[in-house]
Amino acid sequence: MEHQGEPAESAQRHAGVGLKLVHAAQIIAERPQIACFEVHAENFMVEGGPRLAALDSMRAQYPLSLHGVALSLGGAERLDREHLRRLKRLIGRYQPLVVSEHIAWSRHQDVHFPDLLPVPVNDAALRCLCSSIDEAQTVLGQRILIENPSNYLKLPQSDIPEQEFMVEAARRTGCGLLLDVNNVYVSSINLGFDAEGYLDSISADLIGEIHLAGHSRDAADSNLLIDDHGSAVPPPVWALYRRLIARTGPRLTIVEWDNNIPGWAELSAQADRAERAMLELRQSQIAA
Amino acid sequence: MNETLLAYKSDFAAKLLAAEPDAAPASLEPQYRQRFRIYRNNLYHGLGETLGEAYPVVRRLVGNEFFMATARAFIATHLPQEAILALYGEDFPAFLADFPPARTIPYLADMARLERARLEALHAADSLPLSPEALAVSQTEFAAATLLPHPAMRIIASSYPIASLWRLNQASEVQPRQLEAVAETVMITRPALTVQMHLLTSVEAAFIRALAGGKTVAESYVCASQPEAEFDITTAMRLILAAGAFMRCVVPAAKMQGHYS
């Protein structure tokens, strides 16, 4: 298209945002330079209409990332095959860069809880999770990334550090990791562990994507952080991010901002900031 | 599957839905029990917002506080049966009709039915609507033809001026004005990407319902022809085409006269 003379810069971009449909018309009209837009897969599991039409237009201009929130990989039950088939159809339609899910559960018997509910981290849960990841990757015919949760509770019978739990799941199933730096930070405050140590322990070759977001302090309990995706990425999360990419090198990075949604300029500035952090890192490494 | 994990999930799910606001899984250490409310809030707030986005006029009519309390009562007995929330809340209109606190607004359940029909139309399968050219057949063929309804088409009949009330509630500030207290029947369509509403007379509604139910044009005409109301099929067909209410015209294959004699 018209940018054919200068593909190098856009080809090297790595930062994107979670797509908010309120911005879609502006994005399609202005065509900002963004590496990728991420969408929640379930929001597009409809038969037709304006949502799919908007995503079709987005896909014509940008790569997409499909981020599932309801597969219930950690649920210790057989996966919902119909849901997997719908996900597979979306993958066929949009040919995303990456497909990711969470290590949470959201289905019990036949009831769906629209939330990411916590899984104890122990050996039995690891075996269940791996069998679900195997099932998903087999049906979908592709590798997925799994994301670390934001934690509020220390669950009983949890005897494996979460980072080891995730790394072991990746080693056993061949899946990759979506590392949510904000979730690591929120969990480290809520449960009291060392966020830097958590991030440092994860082998760079397993990390396929990074999430950034904002959080808030609970109104009733000032020791509690809530992962609400309702504000800009705060300084301690940027600091952890810089530390992480210094070790991994540039990675697909998605900024999530799902509540109190800002204008497009404010949201895209967050992606630009992540892009700049990766660029500065490359330049300092070249200089060194 | 793992029995310990399933037992943990059962307990967690039961406590999420428990009536007591401070319920928490017994296996949690005391300092974490307080935090279980985060998951309860997420559940009710998340689904309440989903309902609020699906029923914006209902929410506006009753106010946010009443709406979220009503939503909570609905959610407790209508948990999602599937992972996709785009069409969550199908039973909400019926729930409102039977919910005594909501009866102060007599047309509330009808408004919910209208908003539900609009939501279903929004997410329905895409299809090109019937074109006038598809109706270029002989009069005999047209009389014997059937029309396939467009996937988005819905008809809502109310004893209140429900479409006018809906329109009145789209403005950022409702201008008080006198509405005629008439029954309205509204047809919802989505020929392209925008949901449309069209008012129908009772005979037009009878005609379109008969067609959508699979009756032939001639049979549907009979359904619509009532002694007390005039039915003009030309006007009705013009409306059907303009609104995109149907997507295909099926003309039965002509009988081969005398072939078997």
CATH code: domain of residue A254: 3.20.20.150
H or E stretch including A177? Answer: strand A176-180
pLDDT at A222: 92
Helix (H, G, I), strand (E, B) or coil at A67: strand
**8 Å CB contact of A124 and B4:** yes
Q: How confident is the model at residue A282 (pLDDT cuts 50, 70, 90)?
A: confident
Of A77-91, A138-152, B31-45, B247-261, the poorest mean pLDDT is in B247-261
Q: Which domain holds residue B48?
A: 1-105
- Phi, psi (rounded to 5 degrees) for A250: -60, 140
Give dist(CA A282, CA A56) in Å, integer. Answer: 34
Q: Is A6 on the interface with B (CB under 8 A)?
A: no
- What is the count of structural domains for chain A? 1
Question: What mean pLDDT do residues B36-42 have?
Answer: 95
* DSSP result, B142-199: HHH-EEEEPTT-EEEEESS-HHHHHHHTTSSSPPP-PPP---EEEEEE-SSSS-EEEE
For residue B9, the chain A residues in CB contact (below 8 A) are 75-76, 105, 108, 117
Q: What are A255's strand-pairing partners?
A: A17, A212
- What's A107's DSSP letter? E
Residues 218-247 of A with CB under 8 A from B: 218, 221, 224, 226
**What does DSSP say about strands A145-147 and A176-180: parallel, antiparallel, or unpaired?**
parallel
Among A60-64, A264-268, A282-286, the least confident range:
A282-286
Which one, of B224, B210, B226, B235, lies nearest residue B147 by Cα?
A: B210
Regarding whether B132 and B101 lie in a shared domain, the answer is no
Is residue A104 in a domain?
Answer: yes
- Judge: A224–B46 Cβ closer than 8 Å, yes or no: no
- Measured CA distances, A160 to A106, A154, A163, A168 (Å): 22, 12, 8, 10
- Looking at residue B1, its pLDDT comes to 57
Residues B248, B131 share a domain: yes
Q: Is residue A163 part of a domain?
A: yes
Is residue B132 located within the same domain as residue B248?
yes
Which pLDDT does position B176 carry in this prediction?
A: 67
H helix or E strand, kind and range, residue A25: helix A24-30
Q: What is the pLDDT of residue A10?
A: 45
Q: What total number of domains does chain B contain?
A: 2
Q: What is the pLDDT of residue B228?
A: 79
Question: Could you tell me if A94 and A64 are in contact, meaning their C-beta atoms sit under 8 angstroms apart?
Answer: yes
Which residues of B, range 211-240, sit inside 8 Å of A by Cβ? none
User: What is the SS3 string spanning A202-236?
Assistant: CCHHHEEEEEEECCEECCCCCCCEECCCCCCCCHH
Q: Return the residue in A28, A73, A115, A187 with the most chain B beta carbons within 10 A, the one to mutate for interface testing.
A: A115
pLDDT per residue over B4-17, tens digit each?
999 999 999 999 99
With CB atoms and an 8 Å threshold, state whether A156 touches B87. no
ipTM, 2 decimals?
A: 0.92
pLDDT, average across residues A73-98: 96
Share of chain B above pLDDT 90, in %: 84
Domain match, B100 and B202 both: no
Q: Answer yes or no: is B115 within a domain.
A: no
Angle between helices B3-17 and B37-54 in degrees, nearest 10: 60
The fraction of chain A above a pLDDT of 90, given in percent, is 91
> Does any CB of chain B come closer than 8 Å to the CB of residue A81?
no
Query: For residue B231, which amino acid is it?
Result: F
Q: Helix, strand or coil for residue A78?
A: coil
Beta bridge partners of A37: A17, A64
Mean pLDDT over the full length of chain A: 94
Residue range A137-164: mean pLDDT, rounded: 97
**Domain assignment present for B260:** no
Q: What is the pLDDT of residues B140-188, one digit of tens each?
A: 999 999 999 999 999 999 999 999 999 999 977 766 677 788 999 999 9
**Structural domain that includes position A171:** 13-287
> How far is residue B165's CA from residue B119's CA, in Å, rounded to a whole number?
17
